[in-house]
Structure 1
């Protein structure tokens, strides 16, 4: 019965429903990435397996939520904001954890992990408040969310995370820099989606843009991209150990 319901919800999508299309593609891409990361765990050195496991969990959690968000969009034609933020509050802190996991080889402490997790939660909670609960003051909550975001950027680009990456050197430093670029450029996609979906001084610029398409593209780039960076690091480091 459930399979038939899901089939009918997909069948209702119009051929030009590009929003529904990005939800469907996002779901399948995230699931495929999860399978890839999970199956790759046994082919790399043991110290990188937890990092790959977290990468697989990030995309798997996203795939499950995209499954429901796709059906919600097909049924109601509305942005599934609630499901999206549940997804983010689980996956974004895990993406922050990835920095700690790859920097453990250089002596990273758990305080770094918890600091990044706290900042990511603040960023998401205040974003939800502005996008859903207090839309009349969306610019204010967006500002607080942005401050938390830039605090994360500072920590990984110039703070203790940067120093640890430089101490580790080699493939770890290269992976850290790539993840930093994902945060600086890839995560910057989300504020655009936020401004496209909330009222404020920025409406004249982003008004009329579809926030779901922006968010869906951002999720695919960042979550799968994060995992591929970790996978590349694990493979390179494992090959170095074998030599």
Structure 2
């Protein structure tokens, strides 16, 4: 439930976190675009997908940011009074779900692409993970926009089923593929799955707040903070780790490429 009013502190908190997410997503995408030649071509698909994910997220957070500013206004001089919902305007939570519908499946594509598995294995993983990810988001949306806790609980439960299936594939099925990866990246890839679990775990917690009778402006602000932090971890930080994996694998695949890249890293800066 969107609150009727926000205090100046609450407004500034949400404002600053939304701004932080925009900066994190946008400049992660810029960094990855610049750094794309620093990995072998076979791993660039994964990083290209990561750039697309961060770009989509940055775009939607611009829309969320504008929606937030339009939804809450104050008549106080200097913006020191409470912010009330503007007449005829409302905060559009749907932007988040459109973003997740596009980016969550792509996050799984990033992971599969950087593994550089046989095409048949990749295809088998993707046809299971991508539809499940989309279904998880689609089933969660009706509950998110409902004021009825019964409907919210029902769709929350339904969206949990594909979520559990994704975890099963990531932690059981994908483990077989990790054993074929270079020793230097096995631990990183294993930890990457836990990063997804950690960041995705924030969403159901925020989703369940009304069911726990935690409502009001504070609860809404905490939800926006939780979603924002989770999106930074699941997209920007995740993308940088994927890039690190791609670099390590590039060095492992091609010693000559590794030597050239290391010489560039060690070359003293020129003024």
The bucket for the TM-score relative to the shorter chain is: 0.7 to 0.9
Q: What value does the CA root-mean-square deviation take over the aligned residues?
A: 2.3
The residue number in structure 2 matching 1:25 is 20
User: Structure 1 regions of 5+ residues with no counterpart?
Assistant: 1-12
SS at match of 1:167: coil
**What is the TM-score normalised by the length of structure 1?**
0.85
The residue number in structure 2 matching 1:121 is 134
User: Structure 2 regions of 5+ residues with no counterpart?
Assistant: 1-6, 73-89, 257-271
The residue number in structure 2 matching 1:192 is 205
Paired residue for 2:155, among 127, 137, 141?
141
The residue number in structure 2 matching 1:80 is 92
Tell me, yes or no, if structure 1 residue 98 matches structure 2 residue 98. no
Displacement of 1:134: 7.2
Query: How many residues were matched structurally?
Result: 227
**What is the TM-score normalised by the length of structure 2?**
0.77
Q: Provide the rounded CA distance (Å) in 2 between the counterparts of 1:242 and 1:139.
A: 54
Structure whose CA Rg is larger: 2
The residue number in structure 2 matching 1:203 is 213
Q: Provide the rounded CA distance (Å) in 2 between the counterparts of 1:208 and 1:120.
A: 30
Q: Provide the rounded CA distance (Å) in 2 between the counterparts of 1:206 and 1:118.
A: 35
Segments of 4+ moved more than 4 angstroms: 13-16, 204-208
Q: Does the CA-based 8 Å contact 2:49-2:106 persist in structure 1?
A: yes
Per residue, is there more helix in 1 or in 2?
1
Tell me, yes or no, if structure 1 residue 232 matches structure 2 residue 244. yes
Name which structure has the greater RCO, CA cutoff 8 Å, separation 6+.
2
Name the stretch that deviates more: 58-67 or 99-108. 99-108
